[in-house]
Amino acid sequence: MGEPRFQRSIRFSRSEWDAICEAAEQRRMKPAEFVRASAAGVAAHEIGLDDGRLTPELIELIRRTFRGMHLLAYLKREELAARGKEDAFKRAAKAGELAEAQTFSHEHSNGED
């Protein structure tokens, strides 16, 4: 289940609401879903995410997150090795490396360097 949603009240003129209903129906959506998706699309456009690319700021945040996770993983590996369970760490590390590679392969496929 996703993030909780809260009811909001937005006023539309009759012609605006009719246009929303028609557009929603064409997309097989409920009017509220259409309004929510449209508003989210405009917001994404405003911050430069509408073309699906990772922004330089987001790429840096992802890299910093992976670095922090790497440090935590190192500490966990030491703990598991001391308990004779290093194989569990190796499996988790492999999965993490795969996730990182997949994330940054999108970066290059979107024209970022």
The Cα 73–Cα 7 span in angstroms is: 41
**pLDDT classification of 22: cutoffs 50, 70, 90:** very high
Spell out the residues 6+ positions from residue 62 whose beta carbon is closer than 8 angstroms to its own: 54, 103, 104
Overall number of domains in the chain:
2
- The residue with greater pLDDT, 90 or 14, is 14
The Cα 21–Cα 1 span in angstroms is: 26
pLDDT score for 48: 65
Is there a single domain that holds both residue 66 and residue 22? no
The Cα 105–Cα 55 span in angstroms is: 14
- The residue with greater pLDDT, 46 or 93, is 93
Instruction: Give the mean pLDDT of 12-17.
Output: 90
Give the pLDDT confidence of 28-86 residue by residue, as tens digits: 888 888 888 888 777 777 666 656 566 677 778 877 887 887 788 778 878 888 888 87
- The residue with greater pLDDT, 35 or 113, is 35
Is there a single domain that holds both residue 84 and residue 62? yes
**pLDDT classification of 5: cutoffs 50, 70, 90:** confident
Exposed/middle/buried for residue 54 (C-beta within 10 Å: 0-12, 13-18, 19+): middle
Is there a single domain that holds both residue 68 and residue 87? yes
Cβ neighbours of 60 (radius 10 Å): 11
The Cα 59–Cα 67 span in angstroms is: 12
Domain containing residue 33: 14-46
